[in-house]
Amino acid sequence: MAVGVGAQRHRADVASPVLDERGDDSVPVIVIDGKSPWRRWFADLYVYRGALQSLAWRNLRSRYKQAALGMTWAVVQPAVQVLVFTVLFGRLVKVPTGGVPYPVFALAGLLTWNLFNKIVNEGAVSLVANQNIITKLFFPRIYLVIASGASALLDAAVTSLLLVVLLAVYHIAPTGQLWLAVPALAGVLLFSYGFAALLAAINARWRDVQHTLPFLLQVGLFVTPVIYQVTFVPERWRWLLALNPLTGLIEIFRAAVLGTPVPEGWVVELSLIMSVAATLAGVWLFRRSEATIVDVV
């Protein structure tokens, strides 16, 4: 049933039936209010799962619609990034990579960074960009944030294939740490969606977020160990780098794929703590503001 307000709904079928005007007690009663327990919210996530599929497919189609190169852009973009960074930081600056060829080193970092970057960049504006939908239909608004990352997931999958090709070209064999790649990517996804939900809730009220976010993400690329290792930063400043939740996750992913040393335990722990805190804060704030989003978007 479509509901044109931002309030959450409670089903009254858990209580005694209520007679309608004709005396028919088989008609379900839906109560609209501004409060909904978490269990109802999670139940709605399951009930309206079809909306997530539709929104995700819509995101994928719009991503490459009327693009002459189509899906080829998913290969061209990271390939150009690797080429530029290899010339600037691999050849000119000569950033140490622990013996790993710089193109592979850079692509492993860019895969995780681009996944985060695209999910946050598109998820933060998903509510405002789809205000014509959320004012007419009822479904869990968090699905707009999740669906906005569909194209980012597809691009990451294509980049992964490109990474495998580079690993074969440079004769880098898988190591026993390869299994760490799965929890590392899962952590990146969890943090990315949680942070995107946080920004989406704030951006629904204050549009300053969508104007400052692209600049902050550009800066974030250089304060995250994407094109360099944590050890490249002087030791007295590494704790600042570790406050970035992506620091430990990217270093773990690179260690899993390239066999580089796993980062120090305190770096990983601090990054994970910050990641979990940001994710929980994002989901909590989004859930708290969901009932009034339609009124302010």
pLDDT digits (tens, 9 = 90+) for 67-110: 555 667 778 888 898 999 999 888 888 888 888 899 999 999 99
- 224/109 Cα distance (integer angstroms): 9
Condensed to tens digits (0 to 9), the pLDDT of residues 2-61 reads 444 444 444 433 333 444 444 555 555 555 555 557 778 788 888 888 888 888 888 887
DSSP code of 233?
A: S
Residue 31 falls inside a structural domain: yes
Looking at the chain, how many residues does it have?
297
Residue 30 main-chain phi, psi, to 5 deg: -115, 125
Report the pLDDT value the prediction gives residue 9, as an integer from 0 to 100: 44
Residue 124 falls inside a structural domain: yes
Residue 175, exposed/middle/buried by CB under 10 A (0-12, 13-18, 19+)? middle
- 50/135 Cα distance (integer angstroms): 18
Residue 2 falls inside a structural domain: no
Tokens of 289: 């503001």
Percent of the chain past pLDDT 70, that is, above it, reads 83
Closest by CA to 213, choosing from 118, 90, 111, is: 118
Residue 128 falls inside a structural domain: yes
Domain span holding position 56: 9-296
Report the pLDDT value the prediction gives residue 103, as an integer from 0 to 100: 92
- 254/145 Cα distance (integer angstroms): 27
The answer to whether 226 touches 134, Cβ cutoff 8 Å, is no
Residue 229 falls inside a structural domain: yes
Report the pLDDT value the prediction gives residue 167, as an integer from 0 to 100: 92
Residue 3 falls inside a structural domain: no
DSSP one-letter string for 90-147:
IIIS----TTS-HHHHHHHHHHHHHHHHHHHHHHTTHHHHTHHHHTT--S-THHHHHH
The answer to whether 248 touches 170, Cβ cutoff 8 Å, is no
Instruction: List CB contacts of 14: < 8 A, sequence separation 6 or more.
Output: none
CA 159 to chain centre: 16
- 126/204 Cα distance (integer angstroms): 9
Residue 1 falls inside a structural domain: no
The answer to whether 41 touches 20, Cβ cutoff 8 Å, is no
- 241/237 Cα distance (integer angstroms): 7
**How many domains, in total, are found in the chain?**
1
Q: What Å distances lie between residue 266 and 241, 242, 274, CA to CA?
A: 12, 8, 12
Which neighbouring-strand residues pair with 10? 31
Which pTM was predicted? 0.80
- In one letter, which amino acid is 164? V
Residue 176 falls inside a structural domain: yes
The answer to whether 159 touches 188, Cβ cutoff 8 Å, is no
* pLDDT tier at 276, thresholds 50, 70, 90: confident
